[in-house]
Amino acid sequence: MLHRSSARGFGPEFVARALKRWLAISEVGTLYIEPGSPWENAYAESFIGRLGDELLKREAFAGLVEARVLVEDYREHHNHCRPHSALGYRTPSEFAAACKSAGADVGIVKELQSATALS
């Protein structure tokens, strides 16, 4: 018997194939985390935990517009006001600016700037 989601094309194997195609088209490589090794993903786990504790678990969003506004406020605060211990107690925007002024590799600076725009 076929699982209903697989029959519609949304099973994990279909998602994995679509993701692999998208990565290949985008010319993006993958990094794999060893099973049972969540510490290899510490930065993402730390951010997700903080986002949950500081925003998602504290707010009851009345609608999508309110959620977007509050998440954008959180993003702005996180990237431009809040110091991060991993960045020498500087904000991500301060760290990116320091890298740029120190003559860091242009690719790294662009990556940092896109990370602060997306996170």
pLDDT tens digits for 5-20? 444 556 777 777 888 8
pLDDT given at position 97: 85
Give me the mean pLDDT over the 83-94 stretch. Answer: 87
Decide: residue 65, CB within 10 A, 0-12 exposed, 13-18 middle, 19+ buried. exposed
Look up residue 40 and give its two tokens.
């290899």
Look up residue 41 and give its two tokens.
């993903």
pLDDT given at position 4: 47
Task: State which H helix or E strand residue 113 sits in.
Answer: helix 106-118
Higher pLDDT, 13 or 83: 83
Q: Decide if pLDDT at 107 tops 70.
A: no
Q: Decide if pLDDT at 96 tops 70.
A: yes
Q: Please state which of the ranges 31-35, 58-62, 65-69, 86-90 shows the lowest mean pLDDT.
A: 31-35
What is the widest separation between alpha-carbon atoms in the chain?
61
Q: pTM here?
A: 0.52
pLDDT given at position 5: 45
Q: Decide if pLDDT at 116 tops 60.
A: no
Decide: residue 51, CB within 10 A, 0-12 exposed, 13-18 middle, 19+ buried. middle
| pLDDT tens for each residue of 22-61 | 888 888 877 777 776 666 666 677 788 889 998 988 888 9
